[in-house]
Chains A and B, each alone.
Chain A
Amino acid sequence: MDASPAARRNHRWWYAVLIVPFVAVLFPQFYNTGSPTLGGLPFFYWYQLLWVVLTGLITIVVHYLTA
């Protein structure tokens, strides 16, 4: 990957993607509902558990894009 200072500054913008999980999980208003259920599990629960996985994937992607 190009390691010139200018390219590195451009890479830094990828860190902004990490704001997405903060917005997605720190506002319970977004997911404070029972439906749709997933295998009988209310939305409130499976949405948060889904974000455990999604946040991990987002962090991996940002790690490689900023390396």
Chain B
Amino acid sequence: MNASALVIFLILFVCVTVIGFYAARWHKADLSVLSEWGLAGRRLGTLLSWFLIGGDLYTAYTFIAVPALAFGSGALAFFAVPYTIVIYPFIFVIFPRFWSVAKAKGYITASDYVKGRFESRGMALAVAVTGIIATLPYIALQLVGMQAVLQALGFGSATGAGQDVALVIAFAVVAFEYQPEVAHAFPDMMQFPGTATCFVKRRAANVPCHRRCLIHAASRPSERPRPWKR
């Protein structure tokens, strides 16, 4: 066990937990409104959005999988650098336009946008389902990455249950920072494991969960996106 690494990890973990508990009570929002729940009421400014986009892009994959690939295969891993470079000019052009349309029409998810733009429920459903299915292996990858981190810190061995326990504790802390949401999400979690993993990912990156949004969009007329008009 690496004592200094463990101490740094624990200090950061406590800091993030305290900030999380504080944030849940700061600017209390009406979480029954979907845009408050999923998009923080569209009130995140430039700085917080910058952190969120960074948090979405630079994950366990960036810090563990890519360096590991570079260590194992060399220059092959450098595919990650050009694609990360070209993402920024791309989203610089697309996102502001996307944001203003989504704000004007009240869209929350990508499938809301597709439904409004192409007036096709089937296509919106396809986008939502693709989002969920594509997110599952990515979350699995993040969990494997976190396990590798915890293992390197000395929580359990490759075959032991030590890092599983640490992982469960970490996620439980994150979940219970947002008790109203946990209570709210619990029946959904029981129904479909995808929702649980989607929920975790949403917590980590503040991305709205597609399935929940579909349910809400169907059940709350006031939150339904307005039809697309040019």
Contact = CB atoms under 8 A, between A and B. Distances in A.
Interface of A: 15, 18, 21-22, 25-26, 28, 44-45, 48-49, 51-52, 55-56, 58-59, 62-63
A31 to B, nearest CB: 10
Nearest to B92: A59
A15 B93 contact: yes
Classify chain B's interface size.
Answer: 10 to 19
B interface: dominant SS: helix
B78 interface: yes
B192 interface: no
> Top 10 A-B pairs ranked by shortest CB distance?
A25-B82, A18-B89, A48-B81, A55-B85, A25-B85, A22-B86, A59-B92, A51-B85, A59-B89, A21-B89
A21 B89 CA distance: 8
Q: Which of B75, B89, B92, B93 has the most chain A CB atoms inside 10 A of its CB?
A: B89
Given A28-B82, A52-B81, 18 more contacts: A18-B89, A21-B85, A22-B86, A25-B81, A25-B82, A25-B85, A26-B82, A44-B75, A48-B81, A48-B82, A48-B85, A49-B81, A51-B82, A55-B85, A55-B88, A55-B89, A62-B89, A62-B92
Interface string B26-54: 00000000000000000000000000000
Interface of B: 75, 78, 81-82, 84-86, 88-89, 92-93
A59 B86 contact: no
B85 A44 contact: no
